[in-house]
């Protein structure tokens, strides 16, 4: 038997890294204050010898909101005085991601990629692949917290962020200013962990962030008190909007070595990443109430490498009154079907229908555990005993603490390696989804949100323009 020398007793010289420096940069919105439904424009310029560390990037913004309704939070007298309200006004259970409607990235005025329904996508990813411990940090950065029963909730606005701003009354109340820092995992190449070579981009990049137009996706009121607040209008404005990321700047000799290794300026530079696509289907109350199976097409779901599909449902409250919308949770996903299966390229995925909560959790975790036997993170709740988890309403008769969270995921990757492009090729095939319903009484119709995770290939041309391909 040969002896092994402990690593602590090895005195080998460590290899020297490339000469570089690291600093954090805030790339700011150029359009000033942005009202809900409008866009921020953030220019990310070319920088000599510079790379963006997208793994540590985030979006930062502040928001001022004016609520209109009754029994709204006000402060009378000294700062320690009683706040006038019979109940809570909270952020959505998905937190501040509910404010972000879409993300677009441009290179040399050409669209590189789009992440539409970003608030829906982020909420589904939260439920599918976040652990409870991660929300300790997110309670500060993203507006999610635990109640006494360890249920995840949106932060109580007044208790968390302070007293209403000046000019508030019981009918028109100005919420305290809130500032959030959101994980950049829904930002495509600006948040996928790559060291993005902005030095090779002739005119840099432009990040456009569209804010949600419907304020009721971001706030809700829940109370059983007779003087509980009601909301009839929500208007928000956003400011101090920026994309924040570390910049790694190489010295000239190190940059020469990197250029030689990658061919910057002399050939196209390519790398792979991951992006998300959402498709919305309506799932009517009548369909949920009936016993049967429905087949539908998942729109625009054609990719060369489809890694997985996640399904979450959101309450459809298009026709609801403002007051009723305010008592609902509109941006936390649940499962409104009793079974699910996909048909792609003439094959069914999975081979056996997902028709229990246990199967739903197992299949969803597999989307993020790379086919290993390790247990992944999730904040899915068991909720009702049936898979049909349709209790999205959080009114006085359905306390906030009983909100369930559910997602159904189907893993489609062939290989366990995280860096392998091994998703299912559906570039020339429609995706059918088979949805089952076991009947019952649906609270309302639902919006089914299908989130497709797919491999994307980025290319920087010799002219310094970034493009992307996925089909």
Per-residue pLDDT tens digits for 245-269? 999 998 888 888 888 888 777 788 8
164 belongs to a structural domain = yes
142-190 pLDDT tens trace: 888 765 445 667 888 888 888 898 888 889 999 999 999 998 788 989 9
Q: Is 133 or 344 the better-scoring residue by pLDDT?
A: 344
C-alpha 170/C-alpha 31 separation (Å) is: 33
Closest CA to 329 of 37, 36, 91, 122: 91
C-alpha 403/C-alpha 144 separation (Å) is: 14
- In terms of DSSP bridges, do strands 100-107 and 306-315 run parallel, antiparallel, or are they unpaired? unpaired
Range of weakest confidence among 67-71, 81-85, 94-98, 189-193: 81-85
Q: What is the mean pLDDT of residues 340-362?
A: 90
Cα dihedral value 196, 201, 204, 210, nearest 10 = -60
> Which of 277-291, 407-421, 450-464 has the largest mean confidence?
450-464
7 belongs to a structural domain = no
Q: Say whether pLDDT at 393 is over 90.
A: no
329 belongs to a structural domain = yes
Cβ atoms of residues 230 and 396 within 8 Å: no
59-71 pLDDT tens trace: 999 999 999 998 8
Q: What per-residue confidence (pLDDT) applies to 373?
A: 47
Closest CA to 344 of 430, 222, 415, 265: 430
C-alpha 394/C-alpha 330 separation (Å) is: 10
- In terms of DSSP bridges, do strands 205-211 and 100-107 run parallel, antiparallel, or are they unpaired? antiparallel
12 belongs to a structural domain = no
The pair of three-digit structure tokens given for residue 264, joined into one six-digit string: 């910057």
Q: What is the mean pLDDT of residues 280-294?
A: 85
Q: Say whether pLDDT at 141 is over 90.
A: no
8 belongs to a structural domain = no
User: Is 0.85 surpassed by the pTM of this model?
Assistant: yes
Cβ atoms of residues 232 and 323 within 8 Å: yes
Cβ atoms of residues 155 and 95 within 8 Å: yes
Q: What per-residue confidence (pLDDT) applies to 370?
A: 55
Cβ atoms of residues 392 and 334 within 8 Å: yes
15 belongs to a structural domain = no
Q: How many CA atoms lie within 13 A of 248 on its CB side?
A: 19
Q: What per-residue confidence (pLDDT) applies to 401?
A: 47
Q: What is the mean pLDDT of residues 416-432?
A: 82
Structural domain that includes position 69: 20-469
Cβ atoms of residues 470 and 457 within 8 Å: yes
* Backbone dihedral angles phi then psi of residue 250, each to the nearest 5 degrees: -85, 150
The pair of three-digit structure tokens given for residue 21, joined into one six-digit string: 């420096």
Cis check: omega of the bond before 406, within 30 degrees of 0: no
Closest CA to 308 of 193, 192, 424, 415: 424
13 belongs to a structural domain = no
Q: Say whether pLDDT at 398 is over 50.
A: no
371-388 pLDDT tens trace: 444 556 777 776 654 455
Confidence of residue 397 (pLDDT cuts 50, 70, 90): very low
Provide the domain count of the chain: 1
CA distances from 36 to 33, 40, 96, 122, 252 (A): 10, 10, 13, 18, 44
Cβ atoms of residues 392 and 327 within 8 Å: no
* 306 bridge partner residues: 424, 454
392 belongs to a structural domain = yes
C-alpha 411/C-alpha 105 separation (Å) is: 27
Cβ atoms of residues 406 and 127 within 8 Å: yes
CA distances from 195 to 54, 56, 102 (A): 6, 10, 23
**For all residues of the chain together, what is the average pLDDT?**
83
Q: Say whether pLDDT at 140 is over 80.
A: no
Apex 39 CA angle, 36 and 42, nearest 5: 135
Beta carbons within 10 angstroms of residue 345's beta carbon: 12
The pair of three-digit structure tokens given for residue 325, joined into one six-digit string: 């919308």
């Amino acid at each position: 038997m040969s002896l092994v020398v402990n690593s602590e007793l090895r005195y080998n010289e460590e290899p020297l890294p490339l000469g570089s420096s690291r600093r954090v940069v805030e790339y700011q919105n150029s359009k000033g204050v942005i009202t809900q439904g409008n866009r921020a424009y953030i220019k990310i310029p070319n920088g000599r010898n510079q790379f963006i560390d997208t793994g540590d990037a985030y979006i930062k913004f502040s928001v001022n909101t004016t609520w209109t309704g009754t029994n709204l939070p006000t402060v009378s007298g000294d700062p320690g005085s009683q706040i006038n309200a019979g109940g809570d006004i909270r952020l959505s259970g998905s937190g501040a991601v509910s404010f972000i409607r879409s993300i677009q990235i441009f290179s040399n005025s050409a669209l590189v990629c789009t992440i539409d329904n970003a608030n829906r996508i982020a909420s589904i990813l939260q439920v599918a692949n976040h652990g409870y411990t991660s929300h300790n940090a997110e309670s500060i950065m993203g507006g999610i917290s635990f109640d006494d029963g360890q249920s995840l909730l949106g932060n109580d606005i007044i208790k968390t962020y302070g007293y209403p701003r000046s000019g508030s009354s019981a009918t028109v109340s100005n919420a305290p200013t809130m500032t959030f820092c959101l994980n950049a995992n829904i930002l495509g190449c600006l948040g996928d962990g790559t060291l993005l070579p902005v030095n090779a981009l002739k005119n840099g990049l432009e990040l456009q962030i569209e804010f949600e137009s419907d304020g009721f996706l971001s706030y809700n009121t829940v109370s059983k008190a007779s003087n509980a607040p009601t909301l009839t209008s929500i208007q928000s404005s956003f400011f101090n909007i920026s994309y924040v990321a570390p910049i790694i700047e190489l010295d000239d000799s190190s940059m020469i070595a990197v250029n030689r290794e990658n061919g910057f300026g002399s050939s196209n530079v390519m790398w792979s990443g991951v992006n998300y696509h959402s498709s919305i289907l309506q799932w009517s109350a009548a369909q949920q109430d009936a016993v049967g199976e429905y087949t539908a097409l998942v729109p625009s779901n054609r990719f060369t490498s489809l890694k997985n599909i996640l399904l979450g449902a959101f309450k459809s409250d298009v026709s609801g009154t403002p007051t009723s919308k305010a008592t609902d949770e509109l941006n936390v996903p649940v499962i409104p079907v009793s079974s699910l299966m996909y048909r792609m390229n003439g094959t069914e995925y999975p081979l056996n229908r997902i028709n229990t909560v246990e199967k739903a959790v197992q299949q969803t975790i597999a989307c993020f555990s790379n086919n290993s036997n390790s247990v992944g993170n999730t904040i899915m709740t068991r909720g009702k005993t049936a898979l049909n988890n349709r209790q999205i309403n959080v009114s006085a008769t359905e306390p906030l603490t009983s909100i369930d969270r559910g997602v159904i995921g189907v893993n489609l990757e062939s290989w366990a390696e995280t860096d392998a492009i091994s998703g299912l090729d559906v570039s020339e095939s429609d995706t059918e989804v088979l949805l089952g319903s076991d009947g019952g009484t649906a609270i309302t119709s639902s919006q089914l949100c299908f989130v497709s995770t797919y491999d994307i290939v980025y290319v920087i041309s010799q002219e310094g323009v970034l493009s992307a391909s996925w089909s």
